[in-house]
Amino acid sequence: MTMVHEKTVLKNFIGGRWVDAEAAGTAPVYNPATGEVIAETPLSTAADVARAVEAAKAAYERWRKVPVIKRARLLYAYLERLRREREALARMITTEHGKSLADALAEVDRGIESVEHATAAPTLMMGDALAEVAEGLEQTTYRYPLGVVASITPFNFPAMIPLWVIPWAVVTGNALILKPSEQTPMTTLRLVELLHEVGLPDGVVNVVNGAKEAVDALLAHPDIVAVNFTGSQKTAAYVYETAARYGKRVQAFSGAKNHAVVLEDAVLAPTIDGILRAAFGNGGQRCMATSVVVAVEGIADDLVERLADGARKLKVGSGFEEGVELTPLIREEHRRRVLSYIEEGEKQARLVVDGREAMSRFPRGFYLGATVFDRVTPEMRLWQEEIFGPVLSVVRVRDLDEAIAVTNRSRYANGAILYTQSGKAARRFREEIDAGMVGINVNIPLPVAFFPFGGHKDSFYGVIGENGKDIVQFFTRKKTVSSRWF
C-alpha cells in the first residue's frame, strides 16, 4: 500500500497512481485536538487538473461501455473492503477532523449505506418504454453517463460526503475528479485508494488536492460536464454561478441555520437531550446541526434552564476520549470566527452558558465549550448567520404560527424540526415550513440513502438533490428513441 502520509506532503491520485502535484504551495492539515500539523495538502494548479482530466477522459471511453451490472459488482467488493476498514477510517476522520470516534463511525456507516444503495444501479438506471405510442411506433428512453464529472467536498464529513458521490458517479458510468477539502483530505484519499484495491480501473476516479485554484480550474475546464459541490454558502453560490456560466450541470449544497421548534406539549427529557446532541455534536460543525431553538413562551423558561444545565455538563475533550460529547473546532482561525459571534452576541442577547470558560482547560487544540444564548431575535447576526460552532440561540415566540413565521424568515432552509405530541401541530408544521428536510421529534432529520437529500432557499443551489433516485438523475442523461419497422 502506497500510504498517503509516508511523506508529509500529500499526493494527488491520477490515472491509478500517486503523483506529486505541480502545486506551488501547500496548506497544513491539523490534528484539531492537539493543534499539531500532521500533513500538508498541495495546492494543485490548472496543470494538475488538466492532467487528471486527461486520465479521466481516457478511462471514461472504456468505463462507460462496461455493463452496469459489472460496475455494480465492483461496489459489492468495495462494500466488503469498507466494512473491514470501518474502524481505521473512523480513526483517520477523528485524527484529521477532531470529531468523536462514535460520530466518525456513524459517518462511515452513513457512507457505506450509500454504497449499498448504489449496488441497485441496474434497476435505478432503467429507462421507460411504450410499445405503441402511435400505430407501429415505439418509444424507449435510455439513461447514459455524462462523461467526466467533478466533485468538490467540505471538511466536515470527509468520508460520508465523498461516499455520497463516488459510488454513484462510478456505477452510472462516469469518470470522476474529486477535490476534497484541503483541511481534511486524508480520509478521502484513503477511500479512493481502497476502491482501486478492489479493482476499479485506473483513471475512473482521480483526486486532485487543493483549494480555490484547483476548483476554478475544474469549473473552467471544457471537458468536465458536471459539478457536484458541498460547502459554505458563499462558495456554493460562486460554484453554482461559475459552473453554470461554463455550461455545466451543477448541484451545490450550501450552508444552514436549522431551527428546532419546541411546543408546550413536547416530551421534555428526550427533547433536551436531542437538541443538545444536534447542537453540540461534532462541535456544531454539521450542516444539519440545530443552531436555533424556537421556544413557545409557556415553556421557554423551563426549557432554557434545562438546556443550559445540560450544556454545562457536556463532556468536552478529544474525539478519542470515551464518552466525549463536544470535540474541538477544525482550526484556530475558525474558533476565532466563532468567538467573534459570542463577543457580539453577549452585547445583544442574554448569554446563559459561556463556552469560552472551557478554553483554559485545553492549552493545546482548538477547543470551545458549549455556548447558549437566550432572547435572541431575527435582528441579530446570531440568528441570521451560520456560525458552524457550538453556539445555540433561543428565540422566544407566542405560538406555533409565530414559530413557523420566524423559521421561514431565515435565508437558509436545510432542516427544520418540531418537538410536540400533537399530530395536528405536526401536520401544520409539515405543510407550512419551508425546509428540505423536516423532523418531527427527530433531532437530525437526515434522510437515509434511499431518500433524497437537499435543502431549500440558500441551503441548496440546483434542482436535483443527492441520494435517493435523484443522484442517478444527476449523474445520467437520457436519450429517447422512436422506432418504426416497415
> Catalytic positions, please?
287
150 binds ligand NAD (CB under 6 A): no
Site string for ligand NAD, 353-372 (x = CB under 6 A): --------------------
Among 94, 100, 153, 174, binds ligand NAD (CB under 6 A): 153
Q: Give the CA-trace dihedral at 400, 401, 402, 404, to 10 degrees.
A: 80
Site string for ligand NAD, 256-275 (x = CB under 6 A): x-------------------
User: Is 325:284 a contact under the CB 8 Å cutoff?
Assistant: no
**Contact region for ligand NAD (CB under 6 A) — 79-87, 95-103, 146-154, 419-427?**
146-154
Please give the DSSP secondary-structure letter assigned to residue 316. B
d(CA 355, CA 156): 21
Cβ at position 141, least distance to ligand NAD in Å: 30
Cβ at position 166, least distance to ligand NAD in Å: 15
User: Is 167:78 a contact under the CB 8 Å cutoff?
Assistant: yes
168 binds ligand NAD (CB under 6 A): no
Sort strands 258-262 and 290-296 into parallel, antiparallel or unpaired. parallel
Cβ at position 275, least distance to ligand NAD in Å: 18
CA geometry: angle 120, 124, 125, nearest 5 deg = 115
255 binds ligand NAD (CB under 6 A): yes
* Residues 372-431 within binding reach of ligand NAD (CB under 6 A): 386, 388, 414
Cβ-defined contacts of 362-366 (< 8 Å, 24+): 362/316, 362/328, 364/33, 364/34, 364/35, 365/31, 365/32, 365/33, 365/34, 365/35, 365/98, 365/318, 365/328, 366/30, 366/32, 366/35, 366/98, 366/328, 366/329, 366/330, 366/331, 366/332, 366/334, 366/335
Cβ at position 156, least distance to ligand NAD in Å: 5
d(CA 34, CA 367): 10
If you write DSSP's letter for every residue of 206-224 in order, what string do you get?
Answer: EE---SHHHHHHHHH-TTE
Q: Which residue is nearest to ligand NAD (CB)?
A: 231
32 binds ligand NAD (CB under 6 A): no
Distance from first CA to last CA of the chain, Å, rounded?
Answer: 59
Nearer to ligand NAD by C-beta: 45 or 254? 254
- What are the residues facing 293 on neighbouring strands? 260, 394
107 binds ligand NAD (CB under 6 A): no
Site string for ligand NAD, 169-208 (x = CB under 6 A): ----------x-xx--------------------------
**Contact region for ligand NAD (CB under 6 A) — 120-128, 252-260, 338-346, 395-403?**
252-260
287 binds ligand NAD (CB under 6 A): yes
Nearer to ligand NAD by C-beta: 74 or 159? 159
Q: Which residues bind ligand NAD (CB under 6 A)?
A: 152-157, 179, 181-182, 211-212, 215, 230-232, 235, 238, 253-256, 287, 386, 388, 414, 455, 459
